[in-house]
A and B are shown apart, each in its own frame.
Chain A
């Protein structure tokens, strides 16, 4: 126990902390500028000086640790004088343009000067002049106001890991700049804006529209972009969100955000927002009333069910929608339609991957707290670049790497390039061969432990059948692989992060089994890199063709009975159709109606042409969404749903954490769950849902894992897996070993193969409707590496022709020197030139998801940019 006396007040501490922390604990105010709770102590501004007895000089309280018996004074004349002096120095070059500055009212410099500053300055010389810089589309810099506390630079380098800005020059010429001096060209997380104590770094999006005291209300809510589920405060004025602000003490992101969360929310105010229902008449979508739209939907569904049976109807749920919406949709499908045909794009990766891993290790095996990553002793990442698709999760990996922990990545991962201690980029599609070599290498170093006999038996069988004969070099040297094995062998309880790309392929089950083996050998914890805010919730709500809410298999009679009793209707025991099966069935004419909630199928499903054909064969296509999109254009009925800030609900993030999404602004549309309940009511089934509380009440009653959950519990951040529920702890006693022959299939790596580029600045339809995100990445492109660029004589800035057999288009070329071999990357930004529209697919027989491997592509130079300009 340490006792320190500050201003005569005795403070008892368990561990040594800085004087500043101790003072704050005791509610004693010490002004600070360079100190920030999200950053390491720095000791640069000298504003926090205090007097310590027996020390001749004043000390910086933010860096000085307390010792037992220390006596500190924070308000002596000497201290006050020092503060005045520091502030006078800081103001020498400060323009004092507070009336014009966006930061006024929440500026640390203004506040400190108010409290402790000198009333007048004595400096008569001129101040330095540095004009406000508008070179960047998102961040405005005003270096006259900068006090050089370096909080932004430390944030960008030490926390974000982007190293995009620096303090340039020296002395009174110093200022903060990105490398280019103008445009930031960075990750645009905006975390530097959060920590800047003055108005030097500001968001251009609400420049001069914002005064902190104009805010009418602040609503704590959760980001709607990815599966991390960052918390922030939405600040509202005049019924619209002015800005979102993360807080160091809020949520699992603890003050951090990424570009999507911070700047992307303006999609909710996009001109494509749907406001009134639309009904197709003579091939055109026409505005209609809610009554007509709902009764048309209900009438048609009833008619189709009677005519073709429930199996002719399907529904698409969405990881962008809340648990409440998704639960209600599955309730509708199972109890009103009587079909298990419900799935979503979450079924392309997240759903089946989780199911596969849970079958081996038990329910909830992938639901682990995020902080575990930075605190583990190793990280293994495969299948997605978390710093692009779930950026704040990526920051955890970067934090782990900064602690000197081994980080092994497999695949092209630009965001972790500087952070991986070992980065393996095998030839296209040779990951299974690589994993096999890692596993056999590791097994030589650590024998299996005998904990899970069944699984170990399977491992042996698996290794026997693949053997060591797969000495496939997979494009890597023996040295590389040996190094990776050594790095892996350092890990005793690592985090294993698995992303989309290992599952959207025909050998997905082989890869997942290999990853299970690897995780088992490493004693690792698995994390699935969730790209949508409610992937996990959607699965938990039973929006899978083979799963009831609570992760209960639909074929289990006892489980089904539980729901049948509660719903008062029969649920088919056979699993329903997956999303791609529904599309196929629609194409073949066997599926007649599709209710699409919140998904934009055309750009997000492979082979757009085929999907379009399939959808146009439907007798009823209902699209319930918040934004007009390509799928809605084909619909018979379009039902406008409340957007993310307009309705109450909850999301479940990739850790299994249920979080409250709050209504922040008023919307003209109807809540998603309400639309569905209204349709059900017209068909003759009243769910009795008046508010989301009723839905949660029903869910917590029927779903064994969600027992007793309340919104209050979610608000406290305590709603973490396994809740108070009853997870299925048993791991499977039997599962089919994947087909090993898949592993041996050779791929010709001399040909260009197409992959999706993982975009930090984009996220499907909602990202496209954000003007901020579109500014950062306005056009699509094709990315190739040096090898391909040489082979085809394509250079950066050229326009290339891309043809995949089902689609051809022209795209601007970007050269990525880190991209290996013949890989070709296209993002899924624009619907008509998105990567998915080029992709052919096969049904993966194990997961019924689209396998996208082996998409060969023709690429050739059409012309150079220069020619285009002169032409």
Chain B
């Protein structure tokens, strides 16, 4: 799990002309600083931008890339949509489970990885694909996936 918000506020509030425009970047910041969209994180965003809290919640829960649960230090978002499934991401899921003992929406006991089964992330031509935090990886195989994950401690 990432660190708590200091005094319930964001460290860096993105600057945009209209406060509504700043909502997505601010949610992104909150996720980066806090790891997931907790009630406190959404309150912090609402407070920083002076946007009604419920509105922030509507946005934060709409997008799959904003976490709805506490996550580990790194989030592995493996695509399981049509092209990736056809190209073997189901197998990758199984391998990840064998190696780290986690199914989608679970976190390793040491807090290193959280796994999320994603819908299409737009890399169908080079499927299967995944995101680790904000880094993009494609053409995954049962071999290269583990060497990639080695980089994330």
Q: Count contacts on A: residues with CB < 8 A to the other chain.
A: 14
| Residue among A157, A163, A164, A179 with the highest chain B CB neighbour number at 10 A | A179
Interface contact B62-A179, CB-CB below 8 Å: no
Asked whether any CB of chain A lies closer than 8 Å to the CB of B52, the reply is yes
Assembled-state Cα–Cα distance A180/B43 (Å): 10
Interface contact A163-B57, CB-CB below 8 Å: no
Asked whether any CB of chain B lies closer than 8 Å to the CB of A14, the reply is no
The listed residue (A163, A169, A170) touching B54 by CB distance below 8 A is A163
Asked whether any CB of chain B lies closer than 8 Å to the CB of A167, the reply is yes
Asked whether any CB of chain B lies closer than 8 Å to the CB of A178, the reply is yes
The listed residue (A157, A166, A170) touching B57 by CB distance below 8 A is A166
Asked whether any CB of chain A lies closer than 8 Å to the CB of B58, the reply is yes
**0 or 1 for each of A3-27: is its CB under 8 Å from B? (1 = yes):** 0000000000000000000000000
CB-CB under 8 A from A177, the residues of chain B are 54, 57
**0 or 1 for each of A157-187: is its CB under 8 Å from B? (1 = yes):** 1000001111111100000011110000000
**0 or 1 for each of B58-76: is its CB under 8 Å from A? (1 = yes):** 1001100000000000000
**0 or 1 for each of A382-411: is its CB under 8 Å from B? (1 = yes):** 000000000000000000000000000000
- Closest Cβ of chain A: how far from B46's Cβ, in Å? 8
Interface contact A164-B61, CB-CB below 8 Å: no
Contacting A at CB under 8 A, from B1-56, are 39, 42, 50, 52-55
CB-CB under 8 A from B39, the residues of chain A are 179-180
Interface contact A168-B61, CB-CB below 8 Å: yes
CB-CB under 8 A from A157, the residues of chain B are 52, 55
Interface contact A169-B53, CB-CB below 8 Å: no
Assembled-state Cα–Cα distance A163/B55 (Å): 7
Interface contact A170-B53, CB-CB below 8 Å: no
- Closest Cβ of chain A: how far from B40's Cβ, in Å? 12
- Closest Cβ of chain A: how far from B69's Cβ, in Å? 13
Assembled-state Cα–Cα distance A600/B52 (Å): 38
Closest B residue by C-beta to A170:
B62
Interface contact A164-B62, CB-CB below 8 Å: no
Assembled-state Cα–Cα distance A647/B62 (Å): 52
CB-CB under 8 A from A180, the residues of chain B are 39
Assembled-state Cα–Cα distance A165/B57 (Å): 9
Interface contact B54-A165, CB-CB below 8 Å: yes
**0 or 1 for each of A118-162: is its CB under 8 Å from B? (1 = yes):** 000000000000000000000000000000000000000100000
Contacting B at CB under 8 A, from A658-673, are none
| Residue among B42, B53, B54 with the highest chain A CB neighbour number at 10 A | B54
Interface contact A168-B57, CB-CB below 8 Å: yes
Assembled-state Cα–Cα distance A168/B42 (Å): 13
Assembled-state Cα–Cα distance A167/B58 (Å): 6
Assembled-state Cα–Cα distance A165/B53 (Å): 9
Interface contact B55-A169, CB-CB below 8 Å: no
Interface contact B61-A179, CB-CB below 8 Å: no
Assembled-state Cα–Cα distance A507/B42 (Å): 45
3 closest A-B pairs (Cβ-Cβ)?
A: A163-B52, A166-B58, A166-B54
For the complex with contacts A164-B54, A180-B39, 12 further pairs of A-B residues with Cβ separation under 8 Å are A157-B52, A157-B55, A163-B52, A163-B53, A164-B52, A166-B55, A168-B57, A168-B62, A177-B54, A177-B57, A179-B54, A418-B50
A binding-site residues for B, Cβ under 8 Å: 157, 163-170, 177-180, 418
List 23 A-B residue pairs with CB atoms under 8 Å apart, sorted by A's residue number: A157-B52, A157-B55, A163-B52, A163-B53, A164-B52, A164-B54, A166-B54, A166-B55, A166-B57, A166-B58, A168-B57, A168-B58, A168-B61, A168-B62, A169-B61, A170-B61, A170-B62, A178-B54, A179-B39, A179-B42, A179-B53, A180-B39, A418-B50
